[in-house]
Amino acid sequence: MAGRLKGKVAVVTAAGQGIGRAIAEAFVAEGATVWATDKDVALLDGIPKAKKRKLDVLSTKAVNAFAEKVGPIDILVNAAGFVHHGTVLSTDDKAWDFSFDLNVKSMHRTIQAFVPGMLEKGAGSIINIASGAGSVRGLPNRYAYGATKAAVIGLTKAVAADYIKKGVRANAICPGTIQSPSLDQRIKDLAASTGTTEAAARQAFVDRQPMGRLGTAEEIAWLAVYLAADESSYTTGQIHLADGGFAL
Ligand SMILES: NC(=O)c1ccc[n+]([C@@H]2O[C@H](COP(=O)([O-])OP(=O)(O)OC[C@H]3O[C@@H](n4cnc5c(N)ncnc54)[C@H](O)[C@@H]3O)[C@@H](O)[C@H]2O)c1
């Protein structure tokens, strides 16, 4: 079905690659006007029909200026995030602070900037990309990452509760292990740090997925389309797993 987002304006962060990119493309295909943003604007080349803008979500000033330029929107997707690897003993303050700045405070920034326009319209859907790793399931070596993604779920529920009677919804998506450029990099890093082959490192990621395969970014994007569309109008403050059984 096409046209499910016709007439809606969407902003997607980290739309340059991976899950954010697939969501931006799916929203365009469903008829939305899409502002595809990323800190690396060159990565946005090739997204058909989207308005492409550089946006570093670490900058409150840049986010506010962008929101002012765009005006009121209907859909906000917060996809920017970074996977730090480490335990409590190997995570220094800098890594901890960076993870929270990019994975959590960035969402605080964009939501604070775009919620007033949604309240003006009396409608809006906020979709935050959390993870199966965090409060859904604890994973080894994802100390800071898991803490940030649990925080994303708390933030999402708080926003949903505050605006539940004002037409503004907020939901979190928790993906399992999804094929993406950053996953490829993590596989390379794991192979290098453990002295194993990349094929073996990749298999270790596949093995943690009960379905026996990685997910695709499109499989996450279809869920995002549902949460963005009016079809999900009775759904807010929830975590939505698209995880290939990761949390089973
Ligand atoms: N890939 C997975 O297995 C997986 C699983 C669960 C959750 N997630 C989450 O999904 C989201 C997307 O991950 P992915 O692996 O699909 O994509 P990715 O990590 O491959 O791409 C991330 C994108 O974010 C952009 N980015 C980085 N810092 C930015 C900043 N400061 N401002 C704006 N853009 C910035 C990058 O340029 C890049 O285009 C992240 O929040 C990640 O934590 C991913």
The model's pTM: 0.98
Domains and CATH numbers, the chain: 9-177+215-242 (3.40.50.720), 179-214 (no CATH)
Catalytic residue at 143? Answer: no
Length of the chain: 248
pLDDT tens for 5-62 read 999 999 999 999 999 999 999 999 999 999 999 999 999 999 999 999 999 999 999 9
Spacing, Cα 165 to ligand 1 middle (Å): 31
CB of 131 shorter than 6 A to ligand 1? yes
Residue of 143, 145, 226, 234 marked active site: 145
Check pLDDT > 70 for residue 114: yes
Q: Per-residue pLDDT for 1 more than 70?
A: no
pLDDT for res 169: 99
Spatial strand order of the sheet with 75-78 comes to 51-54, 33-38, 9-12, 75-78, 124-129, 168-175, 239-242
Q: Is 19 in the pocket of ligand 1 (CB under 6 A)?
A: yes
AA letter at 95:
A
- In angstroms, the Cα distances linking 86 to 92, 97, 110 are 9, 14, 28
The answer to whether the CB of 137 falls within 8 A of the CB of 204 is: no
Helix (H, G, I), strand (E, B) or coil at 31: coil
Q: Which of 21, 25, 35, 38 to mutate to test the pocket of ligand 1 (most atoms within 8 A of CB)?
A: 38
Beta-strand (E) ranges in 16-123?
Answer: 33-38, 51-54, 75-78
**Is 210 a residue whose pLDDT tops 80?**
yes
Nearest CA, atom 20, ligand 1 = 182
Q: Could you tell which of 21, 37, 39, 127 is best to mutate to test the pocket of ligand 1, judged by most ligand atoms within 8 Å of the CB?
A: 39
Ligand 1 centroid to residue 32 C-alpha, Å: 22
Does 68 contact ligand 1 (Cβ within 6 A)? no
The model's confidence at residue 2, banded by pLDDT at 50, 70 and 90, is: confident
Span from the CA of 167 to the centroid of ligand 1 (angstroms):
28
Nearest Cα to 31, choosing from 67, 75, 78, 70? 75
Helix (H) or strand (E) holding 189: helix 181-194
Q: How does pLDDT run across 152-180, given as a tens digit for each residue?
A: 999 999 999 999 999 999 999 999 999 99
